[in-house]
Amino acid sequence: MTNKNNTTLYTGVTSDLRIRTYKHKNNFFPDSFSARYNLHKLVYYEGFHHIEEAIAREKQIKAGSRKKKEALINSINPEWKDLYDEVLEW
């Protein structure tokens, strides 16, 4: 997730991307990091069959530099467009 200016990045893990993204977009948890920084734009996601794999990947991404995160996003979404509508089509 990122904000409208793509200046702040958030990486997380969820079992339901559609619902979780909706909650980020609507500041469901008003005191959360994503609400404080207006992180309402889904710019990257990966899918996994097992939660353990997802958690391991989340840790790997979080440990990387901003430059690595930007390269990851650019690899599938070079325009940094909001992918939420894509997720809604599942």
Q: What is the pLDDT of residues 47-62, one digit of tens each?
A: 999 999 999 999 999 9
Residues 6+ apart with CB under 8 A from 66: 9
Residue 52 covered by a domain: yes
Residue 26 covered by a domain: yes
Whole-number Cα distances in Å, 20 to 15, 30, 41 = 8, 14, 12
**Residue 19 to residue 50: CA distance in whole angstroms:** 18
Residue 81 covered by a domain: yes
Split into its structural domains, the chain has a count of 1
Q: What is the pLDDT of residues 66-77, one digit of tens each?
A: 999 999 999 999
Helices (H), the chain: 17-25, 33-36, 51-63, 66-76, 84-88
Residue 6 covered by a domain: no
Average pLDDT in the chain: 97
